Structure 1
């Protein structure tokens, strides 16, 4: 689903002018895309819901500071990325402190951590999660933001706080690795 950025910008302006109904509409328009990202990143639907709750709380509290309403989607995604990253690091550290194996081995072995697919696109996303999980963190983030969340290269660079050339390198490397995994699966 493509987002209408101009309409979203108008909603942001209404929110900044204290229209609380506009935030509910903004939430409804953006939730599914952000939830899909969080599920893919965290590999845990329950944790993803927690991440989204924190993401929207932070967005609501800080939306008055957003100077360019047309950048809301990128800004929201940036918040979501940081919340998910922090949650994953905390969970990883907790598991390591408990003496468990690495977080990724535990999550990857549990098929119930994959979100249920309701559309063809979500089915394809579910199938690709196994491949994405094998990618290094930066490549996984770049691939997810570009191809699942349909973000521009510039927005990805801003969210990941890196150069445009780094984003391109992450995408190229990530696609190569994913192609290798898909070819191995077919044989």
Structure 2
């Protein structure tokens, strides 16, 4: 570790020639730290490269005596960002699956009259309300699971669901 910290100080002074050795000494610990978060070798390699690029760009800001900790923290933060972004993309794709599952279920299990009533009630909702109702009623997700997927507090999800149900009831009473 002392060698790594000395090399990091040299790199900070502008001696780019020490980068190769610094890379060799830190690559494995950085890679496995990122891999433990992403569970994807290819994505982990990309994040490791991004980490080294960011480190080189910001080496002048390095002030610590624990370069490996600095590098691993930077890598883990990038990995967490990647994981979160991937989760959002997965959620978005899943959201469309919920919609198509609902349509399929409607066609199979609900006669046309009931389907029309349900569609009118759902159309009274805004997108976030509609998504929460569909995730809860059609997909059977708990409010806690919906909160994790949407990255909103559970209280907010409960409130959105209650508000949506009330809106749907009011819409159906009017008809």
TM class, shorter-length: 0.5 to 0.7
Confirm or deny: 8 A CA contact 2:29 2:72 kept in the other structure: no
Confirm or deny: 8 A CA contact 2:37 2:79 kept in the other structure: yes
Q: What stretches of structure 1 of length at least 5 have no aligned partner?
A: 102-187
Q: What stretches of structure 2 of length at least 5 have no aligned partner?
A: 98-175
Q: C-alpha displacement at 1:67, in angstroms?
A: 1.7
Q: C-alpha displacement at 1:19, in angstroms?
A: 1.1
Name the residue aligned to 2:23: 27
Aligned length: 96
> Are 1:94 and 2:73 matched, yes or no?
no
Report which of the two structures shows the higher radius of gyration computed on alpha carbons.
Answer: 2
- With normalisation by structure 1, the TM-score equals 0.49
> Are 1:71 and 2:66 matched, yes or no?
yes
Q: Which runs of 4+ in 1 moved over 3 A?
A: none
Q: C-alpha displacement at 1:63, in angstroms?
A: 1.1
Q: C-alpha displacement at 1:48, in angstroms?
A: 0.3
> Are 1:40 and 2:25 matched, yes or no?
no
Confirm or deny: 8 A CA contact 2:30 2:72 kept in the other structure: yes
* Aligned Cα root-mean-square deviation (Å): 1.5
SS at match of 1:67: coil
Name the residue aligned to 1:61: 57
